[in-house]
Amino acid sequence: MDIDGVEKLMRPGLAAMRGYDPVEPIDVLERELGRRIIKLDGNENPYLSSPRAREVLARFPYYHIYPDPLQRNLRQALSGYTGFPEESIVCGNGSDDLIDLVLRLFVRPGEEVLNCPPTFGMYPFTVSVCGGTLVDVPRVADFDLDIDGLRSAVTERTRVIFIASPNNPTGGTVTRNEVLELLRAGHVVAVDEAYYEFGESSVAALVPDNPNLIVLRTFSKWAGLAGLRVGYALCHERIAAYLLKIKQPYNVNVAGEAAAIASLQDVEYLRGNVEKLKRERDRLFAQLSQLSWMKPFPSQANFLLCRVAEKDGAGTTTAAKRLRDGLRKRGILVRFYESPGLRDCLRISAGLPEDTDALLAALEEVWNEA
Ligand SMILES: Cc1ncc(COP(=O)(O)O)c(C=O)c1O
């Protein structure tokens, strides 16, 4: 059989599907640009992980042993952190893994998942991989959710609605009442609170009374463990039992588990870093607001989305893209999106104070020459 024949055996749709647009690895870029990179494109934590987590990993004696498929120690530690019983907690290889598990649990090929763009690209990606049908209900002015639009998009084939709160890349949160309205529509509402620690709001308190609500969280952002991949879901204990049953047995590896537990013993230190990043986000917001050609949107996360004005007679590339390219040449990475509605925007992660200073200086320079 030749490779064309093999390709014909694949599930139709997967060959044509659009892959996920990942950010570039820092070491590859540092080699390419030959300089230190200021990385403000991945919403990572520049304060690194907790020293306690790094110490535990350096001395960890069991790398040769498989992890606990039932994640008992980590779920117990998370129970202390969240106030949820262990039976209502399931951990994943990052919250990306939980997005995948939720869709695999509820969505059969052809069934529908509601998505509210602009939002996190893993929802459309994962819906495609599991053969579901994505139904986009775009956000309205200033990126608020279109609750009426969502209600009227519900059909008998709807299974899940995904809402990121705070939303990536727009930074706003969903309200408790909006979630309650969506829960009433009778399908699963997955609220992705990856940036929960940077904002003031959560809908997790609604989980005990609403078995169709699943809240997702992660250690990637506040705890600086993006590279170790640990996320978790808070949900009804029966849903948690199904998620535990269908997940890969060793989805959270021993290093991720040990580092996450150590982080939960170092919450005060990590909260200090979160506060520093919130201050830097707010300082960046204030500084960008001074520029007549930048409009930052308020954010409850560790990043800001900014709309960039167009310059007269500057060609077809958007000013946002030219800024991204100019900053990149100076070793500063920010996120630009080709997707409709975002081509005039940049997403900038909160960084160290010196990163903000370097960014602000470079932005003016690039704008003046672009
Ligand atoms: C809204 C949202 N959810 C989930 C994730 C992924 O989190 P994790 O690293 O736990 O897979 C991200 C990462 O950028 C995100 O923005």
Domain with 239, as residue range(s), is 54-266
Mean pLDDT rounded to a whole number for the chain: 95
Identity at 33, one-letter amino acid code = L
pLDDT at residue 177 above 80? yes
The torsion angle over the Cα atoms of residues 341, 346, 350 and 354, rounded to 10 degrees, is: -170
User: Is 64 in the same domain as 203?
Assistant: yes
User: Is 42 in the same domain as 59?
Assistant: no
* Distance from residue 95's CA to the centre of ligand 1 (Å): 6
Instruction: Specify the ligand 1 atom closest to the Cα of 92.
Output: 10
Instruction: Specify the ligand 1 atom closest to the Cα of 119.
Output: 1
Domain boundary among 235, 266, 297: 266
Per-residue model confidence (pLDDT) at position 200: 80
Q: What is the domain count for the chain?
A: 2
User: Is 75 in the same domain as 128?
Assistant: yes
Domain boundary among 233, 266, 299: 266
Task: With cut-offs at 50, 70 and 90, classify the pLDDT of residue 315.
Answer: low
User: Is 361 in the same domain as 225?
Assistant: no
CATH number, position 187: 3.40.640.10
d(C-alpha 292, C-alpha 299), whole Å: 19
* Distance from residue 320's CA to the centre of ligand 1 (Å): 23
Q: Pick from 197, 198, 218 the residue to mutate for probing ligand 1's pocket: most ligand atoms within 8 Å of its CB.
A: 218
Tokens found for residue 297: 């949107």
The residues facing 188 across adjacent strands are: 160
Lowest mean pLDDT among 27-41, 227-241, 255-269: 27-41
User: Is 276 in the same domain as 205?
Assistant: no
User: Is 100 in the same domain as 119?
Assistant: yes
* Distance from residue 224's CA to the centre of ligand 1 (Å): 12
* Distance from residue 230's CA to the centre of ligand 1 (Å): 10
User: Is 150 in the same domain as 226?
Assistant: yes
User: Is 174 in the same domain as 262?
Assistant: yes
Quick: pLDDT tens for 202-221.
999 999 999 999 999 999 99
Quick: pLDDT tens for 51-64.
999 999 999 999 99
Per-residue model confidence (pLDDT) at position 327: 96
Quick: pLDDT tens for 87-139.
999 999 999 999 999 999 999 999 999 999 999 999 999 999 999 999 999 99
Domain boundary among 266, 299, 326: 266
Cα Rg of the chain (Å, integer): 21
Per-residue model confidence (pLDDT) at position 17: 85
Chain center to CA of 319: 25
CATH number, position 287: 3.90.1150.10
User: Is 94 in the same domain as 82?
Assistant: yes
Whether 194 lines ligand 1, by a CB cut-off of 6 Å, is yes
For the chain, what percent of residues have pLDDT higher than 70?
98
* Distance from residue 232's CA to the centre of ligand 1 (Å): 11
Please state the pTM of the whole predicted model.
0.96
Question: CA–CA distance from 132 to each of 14, 20, 159, 187 (Å)?
Answer: 11, 16, 10, 15
Instruction: Specify the ligand 1 atom closest to the Cα of 96.
Output: 11
User: Is 230 in the same domain as 297?
Assistant: no
To which residue do tokens 């960890």 refer?
60
Tell me how far apart the terminal alpha carbons of the chain are, to the nearest angstrom: 53
User: Is 296 in the same domain as 261?
Assistant: no
User: Is 23 in the same domain as 164?
Assistant: no
Instruction: Specify the ligand 1 atom closest to the Cα of 219.
Output: 10
Residues 6+ apart with CB under 8 A from 285: 296, 298, 299, 304
Per-residue model confidence (pLDDT) at position 313: 63
The secondary structure of residue 267, as a DSSP letter, is H
For residue 92, give the 3-state DSSP assignment. strand
